[in-house]
Amino acid sequence: MSLGSTSTESEVSEDELEDCPLGEDDDCSSESPSKNRSERSVSSSLSDTEGFKAAKRRTRPKRSKARRAAANIRERKRILDYNQAFNALRTVLKHDLSGKRLSKIATLRRAIHHISTLSLYLDVTI
């Protein structure tokens, strides 16, 4: 490719990137990912493009920090709910390990065994 056509292609990809939400650059383009990577590498070698990308980098961390903080809060809540569900299951299974907490895998295995036992009991009584 000639330098002139590469410049036009990189300008098109920059326009597409400007229209995309931050962090979703690959999803917005209809072209193949390998072509996007090659265009980005060519565009990063141009001096005027480097200034654009440097300005773009300065604005990103504020949004990405907020996104990460929100994602961390959601993940902590998800893990808390998950652990509460396991604690409820441990309570139903009535394990007695002299104060030791039953591991998650052991809890699941006991739950499977308990459900199997209840199923057999139902089959026999019916």
Output the CA angle 16-33-65, nearest 5 degrees.
65
The secondary structure of the chain in percent helix, strand, coil, rounded to multiples of 5, reads 80, 0, 20
Question: Do 2 and 30 reside in the same domain of the chain?
Answer: yes
Can you give the CATH number for the domain in which 102 is found?
4.10.280.10
pLDDT at 14: 46
| Angstrom distance (rounded) from CA 90 to CA 94 | 6
Question: Do 114 and 76 reside in the same domain of the chain?
Answer: yes
- Domain range spanning residue 15? 1-45
pLDDT at 61: 58
Please check whether residue 10 is in contact with residue 29, taking contact to mean a CB–CB distance below 8 angstroms: no
What is the token pair recorded at 111? Answer: 């739950």
Q: What is the pTM of this model?
A: 0.47
Predicted confidence pLDDT, tens digits, the chain (126 residues): 444 444 444 444 444 444 444 444 444 444 445 545 555 555 555 555 666 666 655 655 566 889 999 999 999 999 999 999 999 999 999 877 778 889 999 999 999 999 999 999 998 887
* Domain total in the chain: 2
Does residue 33 lie in a domain region? yes
